Amino acid sequence: MNDEQIQAMLDSGLNLPRDISASGKKQFDSYQALFKNLKTEPERGLPFDFSSKVSTRLKIKLKRRADLMFNLLAALGIIFGLFAAYVMLTLIDATNANQLLLAAIKFKWVLIMASVLLLGTLVFDQRVAEERY
Amino acid sequence: MFDEKEVVSRILKGDFRAFELLVKQYEKLVFFVINRMVQHFQDKEDICQDVFIKVHQSLPKFQFQSKLSTWIARIAYLTAVDHLKKNKAERQADYPENIDNYHFTDDSPETELVKKDTSAYVNMLIEQMPLQYRTVLTLYHLNEFSIPEIEQITGIPEGTVKSNLFRARKLLKEKIEHDLKD
């Protein structure tokens, strides 16, 4: 019997033929021992709390994604809110609305910094909550 | 009894306990794949975690066209391959040449100690083999996937899987016989 036949026999779970030669039996026994060793599981595996670690990591990842969406919506809300206020004021009193717009452009960096500070506070709060979690 | 469809449905609804159940069910399968493909032990647990995060991400796209175990094994295999591509040190340890010409090299003094434990010695020999041999041996014998499933997981044609399996086992058997004779 050649190596291919012996391997095929072991793969199929067939028994050794009775009329096999001594050398054939020796080959078969070698392969049989090898197949048994190939099924041996590794000594060192994953830690016992692996599933809860993965679950925690996933929760943090999903929370970060939700927080990012919230922060983007908050930023868009600020922009939209300012724009809506300007439009409403234009409808009520166009002159004052234009004055407000000029003032906003003059103090644009104050507005931008205030928005960044607000969003920064949100992000910081989320990170602290994450670490506690 | 682990009901795949029920667990997947619960996970898609945001049930983290169902996700933990899935991880517990398949962590061994994933570990067996990663353990043989990746050499550095510190990376193995991280990569296994990455696999399950990817499983969760891709679960909405899973349509039960294959077994869940086959699908997860494929994610594990591809994640390990990506890691090997990025990690130069691991890539250099892999045998890059035509694997049909692969043969075991002479033993180092350390291997003499390992030989006393046959299982450990077989594992050590497998670690020295080319990636494709390590992969098919693990998926077939440890994970107990069939040849068609191994083709689905790795993308390696069935004929190549069979010949790699045959050649890897023949090399191992001859090496062990030679060493026991010594």
Q: Is A54 within a domain?
A: no
In chain A, beta strands by DSSP E: none
Give dist(CA B105, CA A79) in Å, integer: 68
> Given this model, what pLDDT does residue A54 score?
95
Interface predicted TM-score of the whole assembly (ipTM), two decimals: 0.83
Q: Do both A29 and A76 map to the same domain?
A: no
Q: Do both A27 and A67 map to the same domain?
A: no
Q: Is A125 within a domain?
A: yes
Chain A residue with CA closest to B121: the answer is A37
pTM for this predicted structure: 0.80
A51/B contact by beta carbon, under 8 A? yes
* High-pLDDT (> 90) share of chain B, %: 64
What does the pLDDT look like over B104-148, one tens digit per residue? Answer: 776 665 556 566 677 888 888 998 899 999 999 999 999 999 999
Give dist(CA A37, CA A39) in Å, integer: 5
Please give the structure tokens belonging to residue A51.
């599933």
Q: Is A10 within a domain?
A: yes
Q: Is A15 within a domain?
A: yes
A13/B contact by beta carbon, under 8 A? no
Q: Do both A74 and A125 map to the same domain?
A: yes
Cβ contacts of B20 on chain A, cutoff 8 Å: 51-52, 54-55
Range of the domain at A99: 62-132
Q: Do both A76 and A118 map to the same domain?
A: yes
Q: Is A8 within a domain?
A: yes
Number of domains present in the structure of chain A: 2
Which residue from B45, B119, B177 is facing A30, i.e. has the nearest CB?
B177
Q: Do both A30 and A80 map to the same domain?
A: no
**Which amino acid appears at position A13 of this protein?**
G
Cα-Cα-Cα-Cα dihedral of A41, A44, A49, A50, to 10°?
Answer: -70
Please give the structure tokens belonging to residue A41.
């599981």
Q: Do both A128 and A69 map to the same domain?
A: yes
Q: Do both A31 and A70 map to the same domain?
A: no
B151/A contact by beta carbon, under 8 A? no
